[in-house]
Amino acid sequence: MGLKTAIKWPKQITPALVQKLILRERDIQKAVIIFDSATAEYANGFRHDQNTFSIMISKLASANQFRSAEDLLDRMKKEKCNLTEDIFLSVCRAYGRVHRPLDSLRIFHKMKDLQCERTKKSYVTVFSILVSENQLKVAQKFHRDMKEEGISPNVAFLNVLIKALSMNKSTIDAALAVFKEMPDKGHIPDSYTYGTLISGLCKLGMIDEAKRLFKDMETKGCSPTVITYTCLIHSLCRSSNLGEAMKLLKEMGSKGIEPNVVTFSSLMDGLCKGGRSSEALELLANMIAKCLTPNVITYSSLINGLLKEGKLQEAVEILDRMKLQGLRPNVGLYGNLVTCLCECSKFREAANFLDEMVLGKVSPGCVTWSLHIKMHNMVVQGLCEKDLGRAFQVYLSMRTRGILRNQSTYSSLVACFCSTGDAQKAYRVIHEMVLDGFVPDEVTWNAIVSGFLCRKKVHEAAELVQLELVGEFLKPVV
């Protein structure tokens, strides 16, 4: 299977010793060497057993060395070593972990080929992997095959089935039907059953149905988990029912259920969108007091909420705290902050954040590229009246980084350079403007020609007028 290296084994080499050495070895290649070295002792009476094969297969699968793991499964059969269900399932789960559900299904079928008995545990495991990986059509066929083979479902399997049916609006009624039929067929829904169905209802916006099920859950003696509470709180916040969401948070505390980061983030996002950023700040303090670490979503919700209410200073303070924690703001967050600073005429501060983005290598994606362009143009136009030198720096940075300039940006720069007497920069900008495919309007032409004439640079002015006339002459006839 791998490289063979001489290992000095004791006279009485046992499977327990080999298993112990493989378990202790973190390096998969060294673990393979130990296994192969033990194999070389076959001539001296040692043979790998179910345990040594099992631990080696598990290690190989965990390291994504699936071919080697499957080769050992075949070898176990040849050496007439007992193949157990758990050995196969370790490979199935490993394939599921790397998002290869169809390979998990293949290993499930291989169990039958290698004459290994498949129990409900195998069916539930593979069905769960198929559902988790959104292979719903394959999962549906798998369920039909299971029934044809006479395998009756248990609560664990039905929970996975309900999860699959709860993913779509078209099948949620079927999920509810399975849930209602469970007691009649001798299966009592547990906390996971309720939680799965409540989560699905919340994601589909069926909050009233989720609330009714939540009440029914408690009457049946099933305790909600933090995940169930969080799903409800998140859904209530999305439907602007903040009062009820806050009541659920208090209820969690009275029952000794600790909220997690997602719980707090959902509430803070809801409060911020509802114009209640002060309460969201209190929740942040409460969250930190419980030794919970805010994530990017937590901070982003809070910053955007503060900006929405015009609390610029508080937003910048939270951003600084976010960066100190080692979290990187995204383009959208910077865009909202820059826009807010521009609206408050704080264009220098806005330019500083643009520089910060460059230094932090925060790059926009396809969705945020238009926002990236918009905020850069906004900053240049705003700076023209306050700090022309800085405006020109941002403009040059835009050209270097391929960020498109708009007509207003060019016009603002030309007008301001002309008003300050910097005719050369005005000439440069208008030249680049024309090269980039923009046609200067009458106001822009008048500004630069007047600027040159006032300084007796008639030759340059004449060139510009000539350039304009050539442009007019070359316009296509409509």
pLDDT tens figures, 194-234: 999 999 999 999 999 999 999 999 888 888 999 999 999 99
According to the model, what pLDDT value does residue 369 have?
Answer: 85
Question: DSSP per residue over 62-108, as a string?
Answer: HTT-HHHHHHHHHHHHHTTPPPPHHHHHHHHHHHHHTT-HHHHHHHH
Question: DSSP per residue over 120-175, as a string?
Answer: HHHHHHHHHHHHHTT-HHHHHHHHHHHHHTT----HHHHHHHHHHHTTSTTTHHHH
Average pLDDT for residues 252-262, to the nearest whole number?
Answer: 93
Residue 273: closest CA among 244, 249, 241, 247:
241
Q: Where does the pLDDT of residue 472 fall: very low under 50, low under 70, confident under 90, or very high at 90 and above?
A: very low
Which CB contacts under 8 angstroms, 24+ apart, belong to 122-128?
122/85, 122/88, 122/89, 122/92, 123/151, 123/157, 124/154, 124/156, 124/157, 124/160, 125/89, 125/92, 125/93, 126/92, 127/157, 127/160, 127/161, 128/160
Average pLDDT for residues 32-43, to the nearest whole number?
Answer: 91
Confidence (pTM): 0.72
Name which of 4-8, 185-189, 313-317 the model is least confident about.
4-8
According to the model, what pLDDT value does residue 476 have?
Answer: 45
Exposure letters 47-74 (e unless 16+ CB within 10 A, then b): ebbeebbbbbbbbbbebebbebbbebbe
What pLDDT, in 10s, does the model give residues 266-280?
Answer: 999 999 999 999 999
According to the model, what pLDDT value does residue 460 have?
Answer: 56
Q: Where does the pLDDT of residue 463 fall: very low under 50, low under 70, confident under 90, or very high at 90 and above?
A: low
State yes or no: pLDDT of 281 exceeds 80: yes
Angle between helices 66-78 and 85-97 (to 10 degrees): 170
Q: Where does the pLDDT of residue 366 fall: very low under 50, low under 70, confident under 90, or very high at 90 and above?
A: confident
Residue with the larger pLDDT of the pair 402 and 478: 402
State yes or no: pLDDT of 344 exceeds 70: yes
CA–CA separation, 379 vs 345, rounded Å?
Answer: 9
State the chain's mean pLDDT as an integer: 88
Q: Where does the pLDDT of residue 1 fall: very low under 50, low under 70, confident under 90, or very high at 90 and above?
A: low
State yes or no: pLDDT of 4 exceeds 70: no
According to the model, what pLDDT value does residue 451 have?
Answer: 63
According to the model, what pLDDT value does residue 5 have?
Answer: 52
CA–CA separation, 357 vs 362, rounded Å?
Answer: 5
Name which of 4-13, 148-157, 344-353 the model is least confident about.
4-13
Proportion of the chain above pLDDT 90, given as a percent: 60
Name which of 116-125, 166-175, 300-309, 437-446 the model is least confident about.
437-446
Q: Say if residues 240 and 215 touch (Cβ distance below 8 Å).
A: no
Angle between helices 50-62 and 15-24 (to 10 degrees): 20
Average pLDDT for residues 180-186, to the nearest whole number?
Answer: 89
State yes or no: pLDDT of 24 exceeds 50: yes
According to the model, what pLDDT value does residue 204 have?
Answer: 92
State yes or no: pLDDT of 3 exceeds 70: no
Average pLDDT for residues 343-372, to the nearest whole number?
Answer: 87
Proportion of the chain above pLDDT 70, given as a percent: 92
According to the model, what pLDDT value does residue 477 have?
Answer: 42
Query: 317 phi and psi, to 5 degrees?
Result: -65, -40
Exposure letters 232-256 (e unless 16+ CB within 10 A, then b): bbbbbbbeebbeebbebbeebeeee
